[in-house]
């Protein structure tokens, strides 16, 4: 077992009381500057670190923030966590990170563990399989500060930080139309997700506003099974020989779509243009480089963390507020 340096050990070596050393380390005004200097000098030499659990016991604050992430292997979510870390570390909070791997059961367990750890607040994005929300409702009833980011449950009365997914999709499809594309397919994600639905609506409205029909046969509801993309594109190329563009809900699926098109002898973008979403590293590592929508992960993480801190510090109430980040189109070679 690790042997940590304690206040008791420092007090023993200096011949001082436990309370005097504790107050000196806490910069108590009743302790002389000379005593503080002596205590801090020895504490530094011994490598003393304050016990956060002891602080939590005294203050009823754990200084812990629970962060629930659907899939940390996705670079966007890693950027979100990075943004959260920048804000929270500056306020001396530690992160307790849960990767739910897109599973509702793991998400529910993460919430339960956050409660056991007595976290001061939670930042969460729901999984693609989340269709029950009792665990989040329980947090709200317990008055645990909670902020959703990116993937949210709109009906729960808590703060949310999201991208304007509708406008992002609208702009992306409008760009394809302006490039002369007339038969545009869409690969979307789970209908359980607010952001997927908003991107779908943006896609549909962009087509309608351009006087084009929405063809359900050219929409794939993707469940993260790559074979489904290949089957969909293969059938679409056969049934709709004039297919000339695909708008895809994320860059990973867009990259796979390009591979499938090339396998069928289609040139991108000459024959079929492809637009992704998120601006993941893969977007610039593939050939051709992918046009996409910039998903501002770090900014989203920062805003979500700032909102949570405001709720924790009682500067703002826990209410149904939505912070919306404007999208940015990144035009590269694939369109």
- pLDDT tens, 146-202? 999 999 999 999 999 999 999 999 999 999 999 999 999 999 998 889 999 999 999
Per mean pLDDT, which range of 8-12, 200-204, 291-295 is the poorest?
8-12
Please answer whether residues 79 and 297 qualify as being in contact, where contact means their C-beta atoms are separated by less than 8 angstroms: yes
* Radius of gyration for the chain, computed over Cα atoms and rounded to the nearest angstrom: 26
Segment 256-270 shows an average pLDDT of: 98
Cis peptide before 288 (omega within 30 of 0): yes
Question: Could you tell me the domains of the chain?
Answer: 7-50 (1.10.260), 62-163+297-326 (3.40.50.2300), 165-294 (3.40.50.2300)
Please answer whether residues 26 and 51 qualify as being in contact, where contact means their C-beta atoms are separated by less than 8 angstroms: no
298 or 63, which is more confident: 298
Ramachandran sector of residue 211 (left: φ over 0; alpha: ψ -120 to 50; beta: rest): left
Query: Which whole-number Å values give the CA distances from 33 to 17, 23, 29, 39, 311, in the listed order?
Result: 17, 12, 9, 10, 36
What is the pLDDT, as a whole number, of residue 3?
A: 59
What is the pLDDT, as a whole number, of residue 1?
A: 42
Q: What percent of the chain has pLDDT over 70?
A: 96
pLDDT by residue (tens digit) across 108-144? 999 999 998 889 999 999 999 999 999 999 999 888 9
* Residue 6, helix vs strand vs coil: coil
Per-residue pLDDT band for 56 (boundaries 50, 70, 90) equals: low
What is the pLDDT, as a whole number, of residue 319?
A: 79
Predicted TM-score (pTM) of this structure: 0.83
Look at residue 2 and tell me whether its pLDDT is greater than 60. no
Look at residue 303 and tell me whether its pLDDT is greater than 90. yes
Tokens of 113: 């563990």
Q: How far apart are CA 236 and CA 238, in angstroms?
A: 5
Per-residue pLDDT band for 208 (boundaries 50, 70, 90) equals: very high
pLDDT by residue (tens digit) across 66-87? 999 999 999 999 999 999 999 9
Segment 258-264 shows an average pLDDT of: 98
Per-residue pLDDT band for 26 (boundaries 50, 70, 90) equals: confident
């Amino acid at each position: 077992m690790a042997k940590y340096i304690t206040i008791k050990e420092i007090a023993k070596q200096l011949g001082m009381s436990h309370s005097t050393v504790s107050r000196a380390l806490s910069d108590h005004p009743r302790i002389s500057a000379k005593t503080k200097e002596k205590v801090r000098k020895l504490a530094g030499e011994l490598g003393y670190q304050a016990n956060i659990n002891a602080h939590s016991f005294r203050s009823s604050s754990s200084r812990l923030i629970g962060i629930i992430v659907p899939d940390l292997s996705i670079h966007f979510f890693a950027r979100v966590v990075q943004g959260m870390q920048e804000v929270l570390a500056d306020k001396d909070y530690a992160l307790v990170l849960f990767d739910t791997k897109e599973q509702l059961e793991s998400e529910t367990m993460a919430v339960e563990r956050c409660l056991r750890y007595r976290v001061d607040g939670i930042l969460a994005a729901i999984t693609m399989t989340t269709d029950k929300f009792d665990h989040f409702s329980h947090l709200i009833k317990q008055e645990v500060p909670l902020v959703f980011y990116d993937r949210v449950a709109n009906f729960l009365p808590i703060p949310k930080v999201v991208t304007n997914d509708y406008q992002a999709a609208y702009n992306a499809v409008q760009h394809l139309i302006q490039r002369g594309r007339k038969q545009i397919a869409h690969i979307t994600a789970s209908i359980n997700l607010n952001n997927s639905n908003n991107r779908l609506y943006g896609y549909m409205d962009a087509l309608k506003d351009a006087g084009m029909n929405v063809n359900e046969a050219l929409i794939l509801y993707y469940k993260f099974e790559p074979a489904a993309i290949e089957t969909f594109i293969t059938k679409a190329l056969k049934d709709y020989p004039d297919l000339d563009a695909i708008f895809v809900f994320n860059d990973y699926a867009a990259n796979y779509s390009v591979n499938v098109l090339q396998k069928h002898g289609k040139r991108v973008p000459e024959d079929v243009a492809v637009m992704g979403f998120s601006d993941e590293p893969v977007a610039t590592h593939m050939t051709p480089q992918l046009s996409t929508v910039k998903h501002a992960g770090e900014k989203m993480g920062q805003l979500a963390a700032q909102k949570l801190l405001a709720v924790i510090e009682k500067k703002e109430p826990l209410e149904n507020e939505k912070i919306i980040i404007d999208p940015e189109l990144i035009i590269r070679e694939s369109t």
